[in-house]
Structure 1
Amino acid sequence: MNIRIYTTCFLVFFGIFAQAQQVLTTDEAVKLALEYNYGIKIANNTVEVADNNTGILNSGYLPTLTGNAGATIDVQNTEGQLANGEIRIAEGAETRRYNASINLNYTLFDGLGRLYNYKRLKEEYQLSDLEARETIETTMLQLFSVYYTVAQLTENTDVLIETLIISKDRLTRAGYQFDYGQSTKLAVLNAEVDINNDSINLINTKQQLKNTKRDLNVVLGNQILEDYRVVTNLSFLLQLNKEDLLLKTKSNNVSLLQAEKNINISQFDIKTNKAQFLPTIGLVGSYGWNESSNNSPLAFVLQNTNSGVSAGLNLTWSLFDGGSTLTRVRNAEIGLENQKLQKEQLLLDVERNFNNAWDDYQNKLVIYQVQENNIKTSQNNFERTQEKFKIGQVTSIEFRQAQLNLLKTELSRNQSKYDAKLAELSLLQLSGELLNTEF
């Protein structure tokens, strides 16, 4: 059977088998990761905690209301002398006391400390939201890295299968030539060695593919329960503009946005500490009920009950606390200055990383195009060598070398293809556009 027909039939059969497998697209992988990835789940829970902290129940603007109640029983032996000299003795005299009260405390003014603390909590919530976004971006980059590794290994497997088919056909041809005395046993042995090597490469690649699929399933929260294939066709965002992307990086990079939130938090820390220089005015109120009873013959009042409402204002002003508040204010101001310096340093790092990522992306695109051209050259060279090998104009060694050159070129093309795509994704992550791009 002609080698081209044999290869085509095998690949058709392999394609039918592949269609029976579940196909996991990038969109489906992203949806599964966003819903089931454990790191993203933890990040979302952290954001929910920060959201709870910004609620009215944690603002300090609501009053506190406490209830108190108590009961005591006192049993005593008492001896007393009346004014007329009579002595009376009360054994086991029992006294009962009951009380209950509701107390209200409300801070009317605390130097605006509550206001600044509430605003600080709002900034912390937004910072937690940015941290969750950073976790999602990192997870998405990890997802695509593993996904495209699976795609690359899938294509490598297909290439190695085709290489093995060609090697088996060469062994068959060498066997026929040996039987008819047209070649030596050495050609048959060389063909067998090459088949063994191709088989080993295929086995190793298939195992790598299985392992990488398991890695991808972990990122997806173990939601893929059966074997699957991934999509190997991809496209590049060639319309990207460097200047526009750099502007987006400066305004939307998640690390820079986090640095800005840390600056805002430090500013509110200063204001909160300065609020302690001002007095605190509070409102207090209570409603109380008390009752006592005494069965002692010496008691003037056997039962007493009273209840009432009380209210008042109190003012607390720390005139001097040993300088601790002033120290906290000064330290908070230094912390703010450090946050600003860190942001400036981070901006330099981000710009450098962006330029490096842009150049890396452009270079890898060029390399991919060059590898695509190499495929055509290597394929043409292999087909010519194959035809000459069939009519005995080239040796088996020359044929094998052309085959290996084609294999190497195809594997290199696959590598450069996905390297370029991952470089593009890294660039989008730096610019803050990774989650805004459809794949």
Structure 2
Amino acid sequence: MNALLVITALLAATPITLEETRTQGRKNTQALQAELDVTVAREDQRSARSNLLPQVQLSAGPNLSYQGRRRQVVTIPVTETEVLTREVVSSANTSDSYGASLGLSQVIYNRGLWKQLEQAGVNVDAVRNQSIEEADTSELEAIRRFFTLFLSQATLDVLQATAKRSEEQLERARALFHAGRVGKTEEISAEVNLGNDRINVVQRQSQLVADQVQLAVWLARPGTEALQAVDPGILQQEPAPAPALDDALKQAREHRALLRALQQRVRVAELQRAIVRGDYLPRVGLQAQYAHGNQDLGPFFSEPGFGNTFNGGVTLTWDLFNGFNTDAQSARAQANIRRAELTFAQTARELEAEVRRAHQALDGQIASAKLATTNRAAATQGLMLAEERFRAGAGSTLEVRDAQLKLTQAELVLLQSRIDVEIARYALYRATGTLNPGDSQ
């Protein structure tokens, strides 16, 4: 009954291959957020470029002025030598006018702005490589969860096979008991063993659901979707040997996106120093403005030849002294360069250590898988001998059970070893930056 429920659940599950998992793993939430960082960096680059392009401003509109009542002293000449002075109060009045202006400004030379544009371009490359790092990390985690789910499925098959053997052993014990060849205790022991095996199957079914959930959520799929890991065929072939350590280290230095990103961070820091030092140099710009105005709206449009003004000129700006602010900013930029260099050097050392650990882990897992294969063969032979002795009446259920458990353990260890080999292999690919060779630059 339990086996039927498991088969029904697997048939209702959505099959997913390893390649599909890898592709979707590179598009999960964390990876997509990293891609958005690249988009932001590109827009920052456009913003930096805009400062070097012509800046054009257009303004137009009516103007209204109001002048309230005021006292004024008015001088009126009476004769050539005599004037009459009076204080008068003028009434309030309003006046309106209409105007439009068009302004143009263009940078001719500004070292700081050019370096900002170069810095923004390098930053785009750095963020892109960081995005590749995040995508590789997401893909490796998706691969791990895929194999974890596949392990649960394969483990369930092993446990079901163990339960099937226990059922057969129970039938043999009953038959021998009724034939008077063994005691009742042998039948009872076989029945208890079968019950324990069925409990193991039920418990593994719960773990299977948990592994399905973990994979689905990581791939940004509904958490209620039941996934079935399609057999990648690793159990039917011998694991390939690990590459040479020197070759793996060389690949990591050439292809790891993280190293490229940190190299570019050093360059970003160097360009920041160049931007600051740009304040030591003069800046040259061009400005021009055209304006047209009139007191009345009609002549404003009908007499375009009147009320026009044009201003233009080249400006040179040079900060001769700013309180040593440029010196301080330059020293700070120099410290940031050193910090970026130290980070790059330390990460390079850690990367070499990571490659060595991953390489050793793969070598160790391959060796373990070979030993596990030998153990399973021996355990299979041991179970066959124990069953033959029990049929002949020379053995006991306890001996058969011990052989069954040894075979089950050997099969589970082999499963775990082979899957650990594949996870370790992909971890080495991740460490060397060759998980997706198409992303290497």
TM-score by length of 2: 0.86
Tell me what 2:300 maps to: none
Matched, 1:29 2:21: yes
Deviates more, 1:204-213 or 1:251-260: 251-260
Tell me what 2:188 maps to: 189
- Percent identity, please: 21
Change (3 A) 1:28 1:170: same
Tell me what 1:266 maps to: 269
Deviations 1:3-32 (A, max 9, x none): xxxxxxx99x99899678643211122233
Tell me what 2:76 maps to: 83
Tell me what 1:278 maps to: 281
Quote the Cα distance in structure 1 between the aligned partners of 2:195 and 2:31.
45
Change (3 A) 1:333 1:78: closer
Q: Which 5+ residue runs of structure 1 have no aligned equivalent?
A: 1-9, 294-304
Q: Is the 8 A contact 1:155 1:232 kept in 2?
A: no
In the TM superposition, residue 363 of structure 1 has moved relative to its aligned partner by: 1.2
Amino acid at match of 1:100: A
Quote the Cα distance in structure 2 between the aligned partners of 1:168 and 1:269.
75
Tell me what 1:40 maps to: 31
Q: SS of the residue aligned with 2:289?
A: strand
Change (3 A) 1:353 1:79: closer
Amino acid at match of 2:315: N
In the TM superposition, residue 330 of structure 1 has moved relative to its aligned partner by: 1.3
Task: Map 1:297-316; keep pairs closer than 5 Å.
Answer: 306-316=307-317
In the TM superposition, residue 277 of structure 1 has moved relative to its aligned partner by: 0.6
Tell me what 1:396 maps to: 397
Change (3 A) 1:274 1:78: closer
In the TM superposition, residue 122 of structure 1 has moved relative to its aligned partner by: 1.0
Tell me what 2:145 maps to: 146
Count of matched residue pairs: 414
Quote the Cα distance in structure 1 between the aligned partners of 2:367 and 2:113.
58
Amino acid at match of 1:83: I
Q: Is the 8 A contact 1:23 1:231 kept in 2?
A: no
Change (3 A) 1:202 1:311: same
Q: Is the 8 A contact 2:156 2:204 kept in 1?
A: yes
Amino acid at match of 2:423: L
Q: Is the 8 A contact 1:59 1:114 kept in 2?
A: no
Task: Map 1:190-209; keep pairs closer than 5 Å.
Answer: 190-209=189-208
Q: Is the 8 A contact 1:375 1:413 kept in 2?
A: yes
Amino acid at match of 1:24: I
Q: Which 5+ residue runs of structure 2 have no aligned equivalent?
A: 78-83, 297-305
Tell me what 1:430 maps to: 431
Quote the Cα distance in structure 2 between the aligned partners of 1:261 and 1:93.
66
Deviations 1:397-434 (A, max 9, x none): 11100000000101111111111111111111111101
Change (3 A) 1:280 1:227: closer
Quote the Cα distance in structure 2 between the aligned partners of 1:59 and 1:237.
54
Q: SS of the residue aligned with 2:436?
A: helix
In the TM superposition, residue 370 of structure 1 has moved relative to its aligned partner by: 0.9
Tell me what 2:382 maps to: 381
Deviates more, 1:325-334 or 1:95-104: 95-104
Q: Is the 8 A contact 2:107 2:285 kept in 1?
A: yes
Quote the Cα distance in structure 2 between the aligned partners of 1:67 and 1:159.
78
Q: Is the 8 A contact 1:75 1:94 kept in 2?
A: yes
Change (3 A) 1:237 1:102: farther
Quote the Cα distance in structure 1 between the aligned partners of 2:10 and 2:217.
22
Quote the Cα distance in structure 1 between the aligned partners of 2:227 and 2:352.
42
Quote the Cα distance in structure 2 between the aligned partners of 1:90 and 1:333.
67
Amino acid at match of 1:46: D
Quote the Cα distance in structure 1 between the aligned partners of 2:294 and 2:23.
67
Quote the Cα distance in structure 1 between the aligned partners of 2:49 and 2:214.
42
Tell me what 1:123 maps to: 122
RMSD: 2.7
In the TM superposition, residue 392 of structure 1 has moved relative to its aligned partner by: 1.5
Q: SS of the residue aligned with 2:393?
A: coil
Tell me what 1:215 maps to: 214
Task: Map 1:246-265; keep pairs closer than 5 Å.
Answer: 246-265=249-268
In the TM superposition, residue 232 of structure 1 has moved relative to its aligned partner by: 4.5
Quote the Cα distance in structure 1 between the aligned partners of 2:26 and 2:352.
29
In the TM superposition, residue 167 of structure 1 has moved relative to its aligned partner by: 1.0
Quote the Cα distance in structure 1 between the aligned partners of 2:87 and 2:16.
101
Quote the Cα distance in structure 2 between the aligned partners of 1:292 and 1:24.
77
Q: Is the 8 A contact 1:24 1:231 kept in 2?
A: no
Quote the Cα distance in structure 2 between the aligned partners of 1:20 and 1:269.
58
Quote the Cα distance in structure 1 between the aligned partners of 2:199 and 2:11.
26
Q: Is the 8 A contact 2:16 2:228 kept in 1?
A: yes
Q: Is the 8 A contact 2:64 2:94 kept in 1?
A: no
Quote the Cα distance in structure 1 between the aligned partners of 2:71 and 2:155.
106
